[in-house]
Amino acid sequence: MSESDSGRWPQRERRGGAERRGGDRRSNAKSSKGGGQEERRQGSRRSGKERRDERAWAPVALETDAVEELTPEEGLLLAARGAREFAQAQYSKFKVGAALETVDGQIVTGCNIENATYGLTLCAERVALVKALSEGHTVFTRIAVVADTEAPTPPCGPCRQLLWEYCGDLEIVLGNVRTTSGHHRLSALLPLPFDRRLL
């Protein structure tokens, strides 16, 4: 063994001893710390009954008067008002919503879809009707039409013709964004209609 070698070995031993002693200190500290935590956990542990606040289990009175059930007509008008929000009326700024009720109580909605040529604009009533027919519905009971006007906004002539063709003497419920504004039968809005009976 050379002199330089003999000088390195004691250093390694000392370092190794220090590492072992340091390791012992860390393990002792960890064990003492862990023991303290365990003692604290044991000392502060409470039962579920102590932690529970009994006030959280007290019954709460529901304000049943605040929620009013809608009539079928009100529900139909509400659906038409919701459909009106989707109207594509960038030219006229006149938004219309329609809700068509099927014989089994389902509601199909529509809104007016305008076109730059104007002549290709689709009314809300026709959109709702075409949607309903395309989904397999063939028997209808009434339709609600809603616009933001004080006076009732009845279906236009082409809409009356198509509604008569596919829905017969339909009940027409007219309304605005706040209330109902009128009730009509389609036969009163379209007297002497042209239909398949004349073909």
Whether 186 and 164 have beta carbons less than 8 Å apart is answered as yes
CA distance 51 to 114: 63
Active site residues per annotation? 125
Mean pLDDT for the chain overall: 81
As a whole-number percent, the residues of the chain with pLDDT over 70 amount to 66
Asked if pLDDT for residue 130 goes beyond 60, the answer is yes
CA distances from 116 to 90, 91, 93, 119 (A): 9, 8, 13, 8
- Under the banding of pLDDT at 50, 70 and 90, the label for residue 58 is low
The pLDDT assigned to 69 comes to 87
Average pLDDT of span 183-187: 97
Q: Give the pair of three-digit tokens for residue 120.
A: 């290709």
- The CATH number of the structural domain formed by 72-198 is 3.40.140.10
Whether 103 and 72 have beta carbons less than 8 Å apart is answered as no
Pick the residue with more confidence: 32 or 91? Answer: 91
pTM: 0.66
Q: How many residues are there in the chain?
A: 199
Max distance between CA atoms of the chain, in angstroms, equals 126
The pLDDT assigned to 45 comes to 58
- E-strand stretches of 38-153: 96-102, 107-111, 140-147
Average pLDDT of span 102-127: 97
Asked if pLDDT for residue 28 goes beyond 60, the answer is no
Domain ranges for the chain = 3-57, 72-198
